């Protein structure tokens, strides 16, 4: 089944966001709502979002018009769905309302894949309102849709494999990351783990275990969460948490939450919840950290995730991927558990279960099993994950055909932002590949929609970055890793598939070649934060472009698209996105066919002789020239030349 036309039912925040990303991916979209005023509001939201993208240089004005021309608005349900290949329902979270919508859809369409954007209603129950439960599933987008990468694809009891395959392919085609929820359980993955975590934090405030600021400070500053649980509760909406508690048995009941709901203290939307939001986002004092045991709420989240594995809902990687993409957690709960130690986690879960008695806190038998088998996490080399020597957590190495090796920055939930751990792994990987005789060319790229958006400020900690002694060490760390790229004896290509800002741009500049998608963006943007590039950007950009152009791009924090970067000489090639990997692989494969020793020595002669006086550089060149004449490859090259055939270099 091929999807060409999509119907989105509901023009609210979720429906309009879904329509936007689907249209941006090239699909024709029909948006239906029950009143013209709702459609106008939804259209205005889409236009505002796209205009913001134009102003930031992410899309062109003609592209904006092209996208809007693909979105059609109507109050006529039949017009919206009759020719649709996929129908995505995004109406309010009311079971009877959603059922009625799908009953009406089935009157006008008998072929489409049917999907609900519910955040927690039963997929199985909703499917009963349709004439095709095998072609019905959940497609749970996260708000704001244009920004959040995750889509949970949820099976109902009768959902067919073909429906899941079509949905997964579609989600990927619109630039999102699908995680398949294999069983229809309350809260699916993200909300099942997240909502109890939030309500348990509220429970600890209610019972006087800690103040809201103490809990939030610990999670914010010690665990590097983007928000503490009380601030996040305010941000999500305390009414949403209250209704979740009414709807799901998994959510502990909270008198304090009910009290705030009744008093209309719903968080950010009413300017008052656990914090006063009238002046914007609350400022959590750092000195409040260290006064709360965060494992009181982290361990239960791990326990819930362990049960999801046991129930066959998802595996550890899928759960962590969903949690990182759906909540912006720096690490998934199971990754974090392996670092803490599963014995420590289990002990804390048992303690909290004895204290509170909520059923959701009953220690997971799967967690008990892992601990009893000695699988305690990193300290035992196995927990939810296996930790073998030489494995990587932040990068991935893929050995492709003909000597091409792909080194993938693998932190898509954080736009592949760079941490100390990633720098260490990058350097270690380059060292290993330097001595791998089968690796002839290294291609560095990013997982997902970014190459790398630079330093992970959340992981580094703003206070640490602004501490001169620490920031100097951080700069030296990045410089050492990126210099290793220049010293690597293999040609290195930066395949810039998306955002390459700040440190991500500096990484690309250290590579021998840069191939960039036309819709990607690149720039040394540090001065917009009051900083300067610290990982070699001021030096390498000046060498590549000249001093005057480098000053312009750095001082104005310019962001260039692929075509602009090619025109300035910052990248070797800018290619159409749909041909990007074909172009990269063609370039890399041709390079890999060259003589390895000659390529290595040419790289060194250029890199290390460039700044020397010409006479001194020529001495290096002559020495390296002499070395090449002693290789088997030069003999093969000469023989192939006279025999009029293609040489087969072996790197000897």
Kindly tell me the burial class for residue 350, based on how many C-beta atoms sit within 10 Å of its own C-beta (0-12, 13-18, 19 or more).
middle
**Residue 166 belongs to a domain:** yes
Lowest mean pLDDT among 50-64, 273-287, 379-393, 451-465: 451-465
Beta bridge partners of 141: 151
Inter-residue contact 172 to 342 (CB < 8 Å): no
Catalytic residue check, 506: yes
**Residue 649 belongs to a domain:** no
- Mean pLDDT value of segment 141-155: 94
Q: Is 604 found in the same domain as 582?
A: no
**Residue 652 belongs to a domain:** no
H or E element: which one contains 152?
A: strand 150-155
- Check which CATH number belongs to the domain holding 468 and give it: 3.90.226.10
**Residue 639 belongs to a domain:** yes
Using the predicted structure, report yes or no on whether residue 636 has a pLDDT greater than 80: no
266-286 residue pLDDT tens: 999 999 999 999 999 999 999
Beta bridge partners of 28: 5
Q: Report the first-to-last Cα separation within the chain, whole angstroms.
A: 52
**Residue 386 belongs to a domain:** no
Closest CA to 216 of 278, 143, 142, 275: 275
**Structural domain ending residue among the three candidates 335, 350, 380:** 380
- Check which CATH number belongs to the domain holding 626 and give it: 1.10.12.10
Rounded (5°) CA angle 606-608-609: 65
Q: Is 407 found in the same domain as 550?
A: yes
Using CA atoms, how far apart are residues 495 and 517, in angstroms rounded to an integer? 8
- Check which CATH number belongs to the domain holding 300 and give it: 1.10.1040.50
30-85 residue pLDDT tens: 999 999 999 999 999 999 999 998 887 778 899 999 999 999 999 999 999 999 99
Phi and psi torsions of 570, nearest 5°: -70, -30
Give the 3-state secondary structure of residue 14: helix
Inter-residue contact 24 to 67 (CB < 8 Å): yes
SS3 string, 580-641, reads HHHHHHHHHHHHHCCCHHHHHHHHHHHHHHCCCCHHHHHHHHHHHHHHHCCCHHHHHHHHHH
- Mean pLDDT value of segment 531-556: 94
582-627 residue pLDDT tens: 999 999 999 998 888 888 889 898 888 888 888 888 888 888 888 8
Q: Is 250 found in the same domain as 165?
A: no
- The DSSP annotation for 438-493 comes to T--EEEEEESTTEEE-SB-HHHH-HHHHTSHHHHHHHHHHHHHHHHHHHH-SS-EE
Q: Is 509 found in the same domain as 607?
A: no
Cis peptide before 144 (omega within 30 of 0): yes
- Check which CATH number belongs to the domain holding 139 and give it: 3.40.50.720
**Structural domain ending residue among the three candidates 356, 380, 404:** 380
Confidence of residue 120 (pLDDT cuts 50, 70, 90): confident
Q: Is 411 found in the same domain as 322?
A: no
Using CA atoms, how far apart are residues 152 and 141, in angstroms rounded to an integer? 7
**Residue 648 belongs to a domain:** no
Closest CA to 145 of 171, 108, 122: 171
Q: Is 165 found in the same domain as 42?
A: yes
**Structural domain ending residue among the three candidates 548, 572, 591:** 591
Check residue 416 and give left, alpha or beta (phi > 0: left; psi -120 to 50: alpha): left
Using the predicted structure, report yes or no on whether residue 463 has a pLDDT greater than 80: no
Using CA atoms, how far apart are residues 586 and 441, in angstroms rounded to an integer? 12
Q: Is 225 found in the same domain as 162?
A: no
Inter-residue contact 97 to 91 (CB < 8 Å): yes
Helices (H) and strands (E) in the chain, counts: 29, 18
**Residue 495 belongs to a domain:** yes
Q: What pLDDT shows up at residue 404?
A: 95
Structure tokens at 110: 């008998």
Query: How long, in residues, is the chain?
Result: 652
Whole-prediction pTM value? 0.82
Q: What pLDDT shows up at residue 246?
A: 85
Q: Is 629 found in the same domain as 500?
A: no
Output b/e per residue, 390-427; b: 16+ Cβ within 10 A. Answer: eebbbbebeeeeebbbbbbbbbbbbbbbbbbebbebbb
Using CA atoms, how far apart are residues 521 and 506, in angstroms rounded to an integer? 13
Q: Is 166 found in the same domain as 41?
A: yes
Q: What is the CB-side half-sphere exposure of residue 56 using CA atoms within 13 A? A: 13
Q: Is 104 found in the same domain as 63?
A: yes
**Residue 497 belongs to a domain:** yes
Helix, strand, coil shares of the chain, percent, nearest 5, are: 55, 15, 35
Among the listed residues 213, 318, 526, 566, the single catalytic one is 526
Q: Is 469 found in the same domain as 435?
A: yes
Q: Which residue has the tokens 């006064």?
A: 291
The contacts of residue 28 (CB under 8 Å, 6+ apart) are 4, 5, 6, 70, 72
Catalytic residue check, 526: yes
Domain count, the chain: 4
Among the listed residues 152, 425, 506, 564, the single catalytic one is 506
Domain of residue 371, residue span = 190-380
Q: Is 172 found in the same domain as 199?
A: no
């Amino acid at each position: 089944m091929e999807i060409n036309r999509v119907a989105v039912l509901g023009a609210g925040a979720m429906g309009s966001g879904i329509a936007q990303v689907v249209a941006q991916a090239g699909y024709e979209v029909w948006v239906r709502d029950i009143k013209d005023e709702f459609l106008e509001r939804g259209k205005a939201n889409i236009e505002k979002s796209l205009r913001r993208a134009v102003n930031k240089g992410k899309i062109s004005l003609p592209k904006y018009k092209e996208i809007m021309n693909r979105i059609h608005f109507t109050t006529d349900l039949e017009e919206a769905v009759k020719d649709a290949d996929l129908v995505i329902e995004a109406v309010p979270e009311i079971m009877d309302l959603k059922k009625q919508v799908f009953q009406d859809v089935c009157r006008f369409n008998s072929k489409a894949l049917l999907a609900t954007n519910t955040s927690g209603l039963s997929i199985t129950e909703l499917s009963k309102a349709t004439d095709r439960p095998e072609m019905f599933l959940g497609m749970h987008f996260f708000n704001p849709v244009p920004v959040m990468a995750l889509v949970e694809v949820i099976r109902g009891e009768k959902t067919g494999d073909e429906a899941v395959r079509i949905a997964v392919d579609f989600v990927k085609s619109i630039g999102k990351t699908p995680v398949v929820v294999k069983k229809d359980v309350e809260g699916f993955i993200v909300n099942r783990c997240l909502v109890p975590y939030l309500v348990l934090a509220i429970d600890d405030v209610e019972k006087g275990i800690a103040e809201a600021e103490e809990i939030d400070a610990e999670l914010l500053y010690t665990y590097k969460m983007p928000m503490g649980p009380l601030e996040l509760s305010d941000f999500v909406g305390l009414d949403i948490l209250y209704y979740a508690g009414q709807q799901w048995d998994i959510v502990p009941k909270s008198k304090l939450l009910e009290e705030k709901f009744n008093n209309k203290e719903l968080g950010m939307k009413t300017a008052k919840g656990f914090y006063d939001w009238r002046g914007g986002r609350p400022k959590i004092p750092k000195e409040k950290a260290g006064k709360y045991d965060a494992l009181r709420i982290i361990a239960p989240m791990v326990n819930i995730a362990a049960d999801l594995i046991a129930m066959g809902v998802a595996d550890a990687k899928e759960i962590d991927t969903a949690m990182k993409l759906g909540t912006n957690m720096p690490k998934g709960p199971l990754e974090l558990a392996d670092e803490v130690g599963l014995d420590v986690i289990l002990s804390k879960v048992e303690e909290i279960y004895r204290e509170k008695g909520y059923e959701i806190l009953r220690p997971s038998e799967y967690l008990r099993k892992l601990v009893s088998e000695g699988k305690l996490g990193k300290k035992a080399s196995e927990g939810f994950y296996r930790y073998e020597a030489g494995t990587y957590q932040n990068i991935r190495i893929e050995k492709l055909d003909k000597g091409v090796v792909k080194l993938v920055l693998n932190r898509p939930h954080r736009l592949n932002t760079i941490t100390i751990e990633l720098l260490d792994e990058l350097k270690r990987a380059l060292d290993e590949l330097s001595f791998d005789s089968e690796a002839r060319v290294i291609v560095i790229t990013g997982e997902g929609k970014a190459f790398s958006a630079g330093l992970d400020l959340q992981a580094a900690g703003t206070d640490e970055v602004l501490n001169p002694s620490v920031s100097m060490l951080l700069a030296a760390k990045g410089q050492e890793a990126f210099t290793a790229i220049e010293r690597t004896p293999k040609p290195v290509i930066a395949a810039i598939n998306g955002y390459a800002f700040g440190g991500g741009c500096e990484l690309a500049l250290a590579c021998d070649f840069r191939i960039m998608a036309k819709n990607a963006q690149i720039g040394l943007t540090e001065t917009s934060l009051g900083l300067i590039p610290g990982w070699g950007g001021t030096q390498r950009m000046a060498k590549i472009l000249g001093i005057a152009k480098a000053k312009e791009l750095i001082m104005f924090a310019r962001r260039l698209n692929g075509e602009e970067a090619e025109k300035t000489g910052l990248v070797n090639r800018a290619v159409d996105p749909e041909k990007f990997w074909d172009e990269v692989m063609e370039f890399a494969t041709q390079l890999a066919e060259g003589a390895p020793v000659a390529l290595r020595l040419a790289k060194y002669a250029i890199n290390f002789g460039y700044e020397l006086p010409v006479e001194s550089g020529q001495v290096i060149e002559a020495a390296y020239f002499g070395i090449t004449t002693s290789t088997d490859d030069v003999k093969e090259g000469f023989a192939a030349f006279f025999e009029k055939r293609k040489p087969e270099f072996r790197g000897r």
